[in-house]
Structure 1
């Protein structure tokens, strides 16, 4: 009967939630092509109730996944960054059973408590209301420190910021010279280099040879060596004088400051 044929066609072309949007559209076009009918005919084959059910199921999936999806950044807005997690093992998170333990002494040097088991070290830390923090995983046995974890993390972040500040604050200053430089100009370059090195910056000396002047490279090297010897008390030569194309270059970095 017509009702039976229509029911069989509905079962044949029903998507039942298994087709994606693209596959569903393709199946609809194929149905129209095979039956030689119109789009309205195809919609009669796949009832509106089933289309609504598929749309509702897709909307429900999107709503369920929404809490776990990060919204895209707006124009001019920086993308969200993941929170920084401190992975320093401490207390029960220390992955070693035998440890060399030191005790943090405020205002003094650390006190060595000796080699002990992980359980004894944690107990010693809890008796002092402190934490057991791993500070030397590659040592034999690994080294842990009994210290306030908040204090340890604060000092660690402070040291990291100081290192980043030191690297960021260092600049490369270039001083150009000639292989025919006079004594006055030489002294001016020397005083400028002393100033830059005193500020914690690197200094790059360069001599440019034009045309046949490259034959006087030995004279330029002697000037570079003389400058390096003049600055040896406050600077270290990173790269000795070397010819690169038609330039001779030497780099000097400041010596690290020693505390009293």
Structure 2
């Protein structure tokens, strides 16, 4: 809210330099802002009394968007990479898949390990669980199990995250 949109009886006023001007009525604060040729901007509406700052509104909006851009630059988006296995996978193939997962984890991504059962393979779900446990064991130096192995439909899914 700016200028006449502020309808509170009393507001805490802060100058452009950050100096506290005290608590006054919103009309007096608006007069003070008009004398300086700038706007009265409500910064903290939830405070008791609300905090208003005397400054140029355009400058305020510019600084706000700049702060948001900086925060966006610093934030890291974690992607989920998938590694698919089958119940009758050989040791060498399992090692290759583990190396791929290791590469994903060192980049900072999470890894979704999917073990897909087809046909008669569904009779040996316990073997699948053992494969996923050995896969997690291979990566125990760089990864921690985020979500343990869980059976969903015809596949068993486990999530691995980078060790902190």
TM-score range (shorter-chain normalised) is 0.5 to 0.7
Specify the structure having the higher radius of gyration (Cα): 1
Q: Tell me whether 1:207 sits opposite 2:139 in the alignment.
A: no
1:172 match: 79
1:161 CA drift (Å): 5.8
Selected match of 2:14 from 98, 102, 114? 102
- Structure 1 pair 172–138 and aligned structure 2 pair: CA distance change class (3 A): same
1:129 CA drift (Å): 2.7
Q: Tell me whether 1:117 sits opposite 2:20 in the alignment.
A: no
Alignment of 1:222-237 (within 5 A): 223-224=135-136, 227=139, 230=142
1:143 CA drift (Å): 1.9
1:170 CA drift (Å): 4.2
Does the 8 Å CA contact 2:14/2:54 hold for their aligned counterparts? yes
Does the 8 Å CA contact 1:131/1:149 hold for their aligned counterparts? yes
TM-score computed with the length of structure 1 as normaliser: 0.44
Does the 8 Å CA contact 2:83/2:97 hold for their aligned counterparts? no
Higher helix proportion: 1
Q: d(CA) in 1 for partners of 2:157 and 2:60? A: 48
Higher strand proportion: 2
Does the 8 Å CA contact 1:224/1:241 hold for their aligned counterparts? no
Does the 8 Å CA contact 2:12/2:24 hold for their aligned counterparts? yes
RMSD over equivalenced CA pairs, Å: 3.8
Worse-superposed segment, 140-149 or 222-231:
222-231
TM-score computed with the length of structure 2 as normaliser: 0.64
What stretches of structure 2 of length at least 5 have no aligned partner?
none
Q: Provide Cα deviations, 1:96-125, integer angstroms capped at 9, x if missing partner.
A: 1211223343xxxx4433322212322332
1:218 CA drift (Å): 5.7
Residues paired across the two proteins, number: 150
Q: d(CA) in 2 for partners of 1:252 and 1:227? A: 10
SS state at 1:156 partner: helix
Q: Bigger relative contact order, structure 1 or 2, given CA contacts below 8 A and separation 6+?
A: 2
